[in-house]
Amino acid sequence: MAISVKKIEEKDNAGWYLVNGVSPVFLNAIRRSIMQHTVCLAIEDVTIFENDSVMFDEMIAHRLGLLPVKTDKTYKLGDKVKMVLEKEGACTVYSKDIKSTDPKIEVLDKNIPITRLLKGQKLRIEMQAVAMTGKEHAKWQPAVVGYREVPSLEISKECNGCELCVKECPLGILESKGKKISLEEPMKCSLCGACVDACPKGAIELSFDKNSFIFMIEPIAGLTAKEAVAGAVKSLGEKIEEFSKAVEKAKE
């Protein structure tokens, strides 16, 4: 079966796609590759020259490390970008106050509070955003990724349209038309099984397509969904090629 991908919905930088002709093993390999092997930037090396706030240096460095940093796809593993933060109180220091030496690189969310400075207090920091992968730390994961099966609902002749399943469906995606129950929005079904439990045994059978999945991805490092998947596929290809060479060498 040929692989096909169809966009279901895109909203607030998150995307839902219908993927046909694949197995759970294949999709899980893509998911893990995106989260563990796709390169993105995160603040790693922090030098604090002045900190008059009530927060310890280590706490501020930890907060800086978890900020979502926009990643330009031209950056490779190990590349670094210098960023600076200089602020004097009284004020609240926000992520928008961090400046980068590369205009393409910035903190994506501008309104994350870092610390509070009283009048006369200062904060002066230099830091390096380093291009790494999620294999090293979760802060280098470029996206939140998941997938689930496409549901299939079969209504038997024993179902007389009692509407118990319609009432019990937590997502409200079952409808009763006359004496017929139908699944109106199968893509939203979470396979919870509430409809099956509500009706007499054998009246409803909830299953799923073993070759079709709903793939969900929400990039959090400035990469598009396409760029995140492309990075994952490239990484997988390199590993497969490396493994093939190792196998050939073992035959010698």
Q: Of residues 207 and 101, which shows the higher confidence score?
A: 101
- 243, pLDDT greater than 90: no
Q: What is the CATH number of domain 4-37+144-217?
A: 3.30.1360.10
Q: Is the pTM of this model over 0.85?
A: no
> What angle (nearest 5°) sits at the alpha carbon of residue 230, between those of residues 224 and 234?
150
Which fold would CATH assign to domain 40-140? RNA Polymerase Alpha Subunit; Chain A, domain 2 (2.170.120)
Domain with CATH 3.30.1360.10 in the chain: 4-37+144-217
**Rounded CA gap, 150 and 158, in Å?**
24
Q: Of residues 199 and 33, which shows the higher confidence score?
A: 33
Domain with CATH 2.170.120.12 in the chain: 40-140
pLDDT (tens digit, 9 = 90+) per residue, 137-179?
Answer: 999 998 899 998 887 777 776 666 667 777 777 777 777 776 6
Q: Of residues 56 and 9, which shows the higher confidence score?
A: 56
